[in-house]
């Protein structure tokens, strides 16, 4: 099967102008079919404050009211997405920025929860892998923001790690997918404050232990959960920092099967 590298960038890699452009440079050198999914960084949070929009977080997930949805659609699908596209075009990449509503790429439904109303938060229900594959076969480099839609006219806010995972799983039917979750750390850390303590590889047994003893917590939890979800469906997964990788030397934490 043809290889496809899917990179998700987020966190401080998005906020920092020079780190973002360095990440795009590394991304542009990845050979073969590739696709970029990006998060939002903290610009949306900063702007919400400036505009007096209340935007609480529960378990690392933003509660999305009408005003927040408008703001994240602007920031993620507008500024960040188009800035990345223009940056990649300058690096001779055939970049094209889309969100889940475009070409009905990612269909979602408003999150159902017994006690918490997450507002306009979407859980993915379908990935249009035919459309995605068509663009990939036309050598386009898709740049996807994590805004989805319900097919009835409603935009929804979805976690970018989840988008990366769902797309990786959907495309793994047609491609050998390598999924890289890139963020500001070199990988999954044994000691959260020590970057040198990153794991070269992680299997489900060690993962379970690290969750139970609290080593993996907060923002790392949904990331690693997403990572194992993709891994369990046959996707090659690496968690690390694109800026510390070069050429085929993908440093980071690789998910591996239990021995």
79 binds a copy of itself (CB under 8 A): yes
- Report residue 230 as tokens: 């993709």
47 binds a copy of itself (CB under 8 A): yes
- The closest alpha carbon to 36, from 147, 128, 141, 134, belongs to 141
Question: Which part of the chain contacts a copy of itself (CB under 8 A), choosing from 145-153, 174-182, 221-229, 250-258?
Answer: 145-153
Buried/exposed 91-114: b ≥16 CB within 10 Å, e otherwise: eebebbbbbbbbeebbbbbbbeee
76 binds a copy of itself (CB under 8 A): yes
Task: Give min distance, CB of 101 to a copy of itself, in A.
Answer: 4
77 binds a copy of itself (CB under 8 A): yes
CA atoms 101, 164, 156, 87: torsion sign: negative
Q: Of residues 112, 115, 152, 214, which one binds a copy of itself by CB under 8 A?
A: 152
- Report residue 209 as tokens: 């232990």
Q: Taking the chain, what is the end-to-end CA distance rounded to the nearest angstrom? A: 26
Own/partner long-range contacts of 204-212 (Cβ < 8 Å, ≥24 apart): 204/228, 204/258, 205/258
Question: Which part of the chain contacts a copy of itself (CB under 8 A), choosing from 82-90, 109-117, 162-170, 195-203?
Answer: 82-90
- Closer residue to a copy of itself in complex, CB, 152/259: 152
155 binds a copy of itself (CB under 8 A): yes
Task: Give min distance, CB of 211 to a copy of itself, in A.
Answer: 36
Contact between 25 and 258 (Cβ < 8 Å): no
Q: List interacting residues with a copy of itself (CB under 8 A).
A: 47, 50-51, 70, 73-79, 81-83, 85-87, 89-90, 94-99, 101-104, 140, 147, 149, 151-155
């Amino acid at each position: 099967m043809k290889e496809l590298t899917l990179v998700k960038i987020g966190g401080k890699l998005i906020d920092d102008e020079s780190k973002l452009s360095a990440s795009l440079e590394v991304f542009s050198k990845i050979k073969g079919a590739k696709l970029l999914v990006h998060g939002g960084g903290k610009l949306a949070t900063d702007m919400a404050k400036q505009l007096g929009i209340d935007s609480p977080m529960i378990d690392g997930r933003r509660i999305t009211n009408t005003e927040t949805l408008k703001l994240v659609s602007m920031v993620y699908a507008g500024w960040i997405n188009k800035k990345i596209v223009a940056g990649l075009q300058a690096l001779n990449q055939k970049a094209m920025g889309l969100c889940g509503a475009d070409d009905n790429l990612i269909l979602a439904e408003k999150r159902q929860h017994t006690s918490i109303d997450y507002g306009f938060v979407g859980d993915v229900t379908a990935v249009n892998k035919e459309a995605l594959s068509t663009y990939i076969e036309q050598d386009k480099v898709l740049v996807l923001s994590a805004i989805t839609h319900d097919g009835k006219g409603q935009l929804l806010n979805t976690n970018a790690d989840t988008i990366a995972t769902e797309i990786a799983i959907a495309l793994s039917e047609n491609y050998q997918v390598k999924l890289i979750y890139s963020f500001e750390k070199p990988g999954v850390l044994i000691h959260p404050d020590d970057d040198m303590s990153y794991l070269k590889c992680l299997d489900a047994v060690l993962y379970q232990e690290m969750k139970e003893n609290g080593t993996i917590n907060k923002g790392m939890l949904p990331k690693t959960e997403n990572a194992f979800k993709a891994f369990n469906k046959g996707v090659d997964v690496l968690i690390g920092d694109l800026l510390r990788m070069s050429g085929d030397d993908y440093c980071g934490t690789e998910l591996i099967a239990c021995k």
